[in-house]
Amino acid sequence: MSDTSVRCILVNFRSPWDMLERCLDSLYGDSENPGCMVTLVDNASGDGGIDQVRKRFPQVDIIELDANLGFAAAVNRGLAGASERYILMLNTDAVLAPEALEKMVTALAKAPGDVAGVAPKMMSSSHEGVIDAVGTVMPPTGASFNRGIGQCDLGQYDFSEEVAGVCFGAALLKRSLFEPERVGPLYEGYFLYFEDSDWCMRATSQGFRFLTVPEAIVHHMHSGVTRRESLPFKYRLIELNTLKIVVRNFGSPRLAARIVAARSARLLARTLIRRKFVAANLSTLWSLALSLPRLLKERRALARRRIVPDDRVFRLAAGEDAYFDTVEYRPHHTIDALIDTYQHLLDRGPDPRYGKLLDALYRLRREASGGLRPALDPETRSLFAAEPECVRSLLAMAVSEE
């Protein structure tokens, strides 16, 4: 593979040096990884990190912005000078395993022409054996999330499959689709969060698809950089950008209006009744109201390019749920997370062992929902004794917290 066939776009804003170094080392420091060109776009960090990059990785192309323009704008600046066939989106808190990029490139090169990009299996670097993302999910509620997040990795996603989208924390995409006459650049109306969901929704509405490449492993510290930001700051952006995605991208005006009304009502309830995130809720609603004329104009423009209904994307959300605490940055300690994990495995083919494990998990859940404390009796302990440590640990914590 030519070392100019892939361009990696990294956006940096005050990433800790050891994190940034590990990320770049995974691109340059392992001979098993194919070479690629790297553009690092710095959002006016002002912390000296860029000088360290220049010394340690002189081959990196660096774009220094005068202000923090947000993720989407920074990516678009990096894309402007790219001519390579593929774009590797990678966060600075992600580390490629050996051969991960090569496997993604091979998969995308062999994929049908309507495949816009591929998603690796992203594993949590903070929680052993826990999935961070294998593609993304877009349910009819508009609240997109990482597919498989918080589940123990037992191989339930170890098949190349179509997914609603890819997480731009690590994904390989066709550069030509970022051209204005095609899917286009990232939408700069988002400062942070869900830029990838918006782009993927636009791509799927135009008939493109996304596939997973689970044999390509990327280790990711979920929100490794942004977790230092205040909770109200992140909460506001997540709420606002979810509403923007729905208004801009959902094909059904009736569904979009219903979601916006429901989510707006919840924001008001949190403000007036629960008195939680009051300033963030009011700011979200005000910002949405101000941006609505522009969003509706953009919606009409995007609708003219639509050839595929959203139902195709929504169907891919069936059976998926998120099991991750975005405040504590840890998997949810719930029996439901394990039920979904083993149900995915059982769906692959009948296996009496998975059936027995599921029966035990459903019993524990019934006990918990009936007000009883779930009991790990000797038979249940014996049944799960051979399961991976991730499963045994999650089960023990789930039972103790029920």
Question: Residue 281: which domain range?
Answer: 228-317
Which 8-state DSSP code applies to residue 31?
Answer: T
Residue 380 lies in a domain: yes
Which pLDDT score, from 0 to 100, does residue 114 have? 98
Residue 365 lies in a domain: yes
DSSP string of 169-222? TEEEEEGGGGSTTTT-S--TT-SSS-HHHHHHHHHHHTT-EEEEEEEEEEEE-T
Q: Based on the fold, state whether residues 360 and 293 are members of the same structural domain.
A: no
Residue 401 makes CB contacts below 8 A (sequence gap 6+) with 333
- From the list 301, 339, 17, 368, the residue with the least C-alpha distance to 154 is 339
Q: Based on the fold, state whether residues 302 and 246 are members of the same structural domain.
A: yes
Which 8-state DSSP code applies to residue 11?
Answer: E
Which pLDDT score, from 0 to 100, does residue 215 have? 98
Q: Based on the fold, state whether residues 350 and 393 are members of the same structural domain.
A: yes
CA 165 – CA 146 distance, rounded (Å): 9
Q: What is the pTM of this model?
A: 0.95
Which pLDDT score, from 0 to 100, does residue 2 have? 42
Q: How many domains does the chain have?
A: 2
- From the list 293, 291, 292, 284, the residue with the least C-alpha distance to 263 is 284
Q: Based on the fold, state whether residues 373 and 313 are members of the same structural domain.
A: no
Q: Based on the fold, state whether residues 236 and 288 are members of the same structural domain.
A: yes
Q: Based on the fold, state whether residues 305 and 385 are members of the same structural domain.
A: no
CA-derived radius of gyration, the chain: 22
CA 239 – CA 253 distance, rounded (Å): 19
- pLDDT one digit per residue (tens) for the chain, 402 residues: 444 499 999 999 999 999 999 999 999 875 455 579 999 999 999 999 999 999 999 999 999 999 999 999 999 999 998 999 999 999 999 999 999 999 999 999 999 999 999 999 999 999 999 999 999 999 999 999 999 999 999 999 999 999 999 999 999 999 999 999 999 999 999 999 999 999 999 999 999 999 999 999 999 998 878 888 889 999 999 999 999 999 999 999 999 999 999 999 999 999 999 888 999 999 999 999 999 999 999 999 999 999 999 999 999 999 999 999 988 899 999 999 999 999 999 998 888 999 999 999 999 999 888 766 777 888 899 999 999 999 999 999 988 876
Q: Which residue type is seen at 11? A: V
Query: Do the bridges between strand 162-163 and strand 209-220 make them parallel or antiparallel, or are there none, so unpaired?
Result: antiparallel
Which pLDDT score, from 0 to 100, does residue 1 have? 43
Q: Which of 271, 292, 317 is the last residue of a domain?
A: 317
Q: Based on the fold, state whether residues 313 and 236 are members of the same structural domain.
A: yes
Half-sphere exposure of 25 (CA within 13 A, CB side): 8
Residue 232 lies in a domain: yes
Q: Based on the fold, state whether residues 253 and 310 are members of the same structural domain.
A: yes
**Beta bridge pairs of residue 96:** 218
Residue 344 lies in a domain: yes
Task: At 46, give phi and psi (nearest 5°).
Answer: 65, 25
Residue 279 lies in a domain: yes
Q: Which of 260, 291, 317 is the last residue of a domain?
A: 317
DSSP string of 72-118? HHHHHHHHHT--SSEEEEE-TTEEEPTTHHHHHHHHHHHS-TTEEEE
Residue 175 lies in a domain: no
Residue 107 lies in a domain: no
Residue 139 makes CB contacts below 8 A (sequence gap 6+) with 314, 317, 320
Task: At 330, give phi and psi (nearest 5°).
Answer: -150, 160
Residue 288 lies in a domain: yes
- From the list 222, 230, 399, 200, the residue with the least C-alpha distance to 326 is 222
Q: Based on the fold, state whether residues 306 and 338 are members of the same structural domain.
A: no
Q: Based on the fold, state whether residues 312 and 345 are members of the same structural domain.
A: no
